[in-house]
Amino acid sequence: MNSSEEIAVSGMSAGRSAVRMGPAELVQAAAMARRFYLEGKSKIQIAEEFGVSRFKVARVLETALERDLVRIEIRVPAELDAERSDALRARYGLRHAVVVESPAEAEETPDPENLGEVAADLLGELVDEGAVLGLAWGRSTIHMAAALDRLPPCTVVQLTGVYDAGTSERGSVEAVRRAAQVSGGDAHPIYAPMLLPDAATAAALRHQTGIARAFEYFDKVTVACVSIGSWEPGISTVHDMLSDEERAHYASLGVAAEMAAHLFDAEGRRIGRDLGERCITVKADQLRRIPEVVAIAGGQRKAAAIDAVLRSGLVTSLVTDTSAADYLMTAGPTPKPALGRNDPDGH
């Protein structure tokens, strides 16, 4: 995932200039360019070595660039789109945005598996030793955990209850244990459903010893990893767990997206707060206080939902694909910067 800069020094190129540099000028300019770009020496050090002023060194280096004596290439792996990543980061005021090339054969598929692989590398950069890593349920976070191969020692806690729809993916408990195994830290899974029949049952479960212990870590989480769902079958965990009547009710409120069992309208405002009382999940205001909240979501079918959640201000970083990124770059008015960490109501 790390970008690299390649400095190519060409000894005899006339470049774009109509006036050719003489051989002595070429040799000196090439030597200065090597010292500056490849060896990391300062202009003052180069000036002392060649017995000239640092201003002349600056002019020589500038001329070397103008005449193609030096070519600077910024290279990232082919699957990463650096231009879209930077544009998306700036548009939403994110701390990090990583855009992955969408597989040509799977443009309509939400959350391509390669997003999890890239997110795993990103977590390797963001998680420090002694951190508390929080994982919310989602296919993308499960793919991310499976792809992890490095993490510094940290505590890993589950941020939502489990969801089992008979899918073939390994669940969130396994994801938490996998991340803890890679890091060598403690795991705090939650052995409880994400959605309960009523608020009283959910409240009782929150007080059970193992679940309560996990909840105690929510305010200590330093990096969280979440998924985003759009309000349609198979794309939202909460949507699939509700009855037809409940789905219709929340649809009438304007639900456009779901993250960690919290519902959002198209403007990023939280709606359906009563649902949260029935869920085993981290609270929205707790998410807002987490320094780094990384969302992993992509695909055209999730693009509008991603926009809605980003507008909530609860997410600081995003791993997505080009298919979703192209939608996000033109989706409605420019949103408020996420790093301002709007309140959970989107204000």
Each residue's pLDDT tens digit, 260-286: 999 999 999 999 888 889 999 999 999
Instruction: Check: CB of residue 292 under 8 Å from CB of residue 222.
Output: yes
**Which region among 36-45, 73-82, 109-118, 233-242 has the lowest average model confidence (pLDDT)?**
73-82
pLDDT, averaged across the chain: 84
The alpha carbon of 177 is separated from its chain's Cα centroid by a whole number of angstroms, namely 21
User: Does residue 17 form part of some domain?
Assistant: no
Looking at residue 2, its pLDDT comes to 42
Is residue 257 domain-shared with residue 122, that is, in the same domain? yes
**Which region among 165-169, 297-301, 308-312 has the lowest average model confidence (pLDDT)?**
165-169
Is residue 103 domain-shared with residue 54, that is, in the same domain? no
Instruction: Check: CB of residue 155 under 8 Å from CB of residue 246.
Output: no
CATH number at residue 53: 1.10.10
**Quick one: pLDDT band at residue 106, thresholds 50, 70, 90?**
low
Looking at residue 336, its pLDDT comes to 67
Question: At 62, is the secondary structure helix, strand, or coil?
Answer: helix
Residue 63 has pLDDT above 80, yes or no: yes
Residue type, 16: R
Looking at residue 107, its pLDDT comes to 53
User: Does residue 2 form part of some domain?
Assistant: no
Query: What value does the mean pLDDT take over residues 178-203?
Result: 93
DSSP 37: I
Is residue 267 domain-shared with residue 140, that is, in the same domain? yes
Is residue 172 domain-shared with residue 52, that is, in the same domain? no
Is residue 36 domain-shared with residue 87, that is, in the same domain? no
User: Does residue 89 form part of some domain?
Assistant: yes
Which residues are paired to 41 by β-bridges?
none
Half-sphere exposure of 223 (CA within 13 A, CB side): 24
Is residue 213 domain-shared with residue 333, that is, in the same domain? yes
- What is the rounded distance in angstroms from the CA atom of residue 237 to the CA atom of residue 222? 25
User: Does residue 11 form part of some domain?
Assistant: no
Q: Identify the domain boundary among 67, 99, 122.
A: 67
- Number of domains forming the structure of the chain: 2
Residue 93 has pLDDT above 90, yes or no: yes
Residue 233 has pLDDT above 80, yes or no: no
Looking at residue 190, its pLDDT comes to 92
Is residue 207 domain-shared with residue 330, that is, in the same domain? yes
Q: Identify the domain boundary among 12, 42, 67.
A: 67
Residue 76 has pLDDT above 70, yes or no: no
Query: What are all long-range contacts of 146-149, with beta carbons under 8 Å and residues at least 24 apart?
Result: 146/116, 146/170, 146/175, 146/178, 147/116, 147/117, 147/119, 147/120, 148/120, 148/123, 148/124, 148/178, 148/179, 148/182, 149/120, 149/124, 149/182
User: Does residue 308 form part of some domain?
Assistant: yes
What pTM was estimated for this model as a whole?
0.75
Instruction: Tell me which residue range forms the domain holding 52.
Output: 23-67
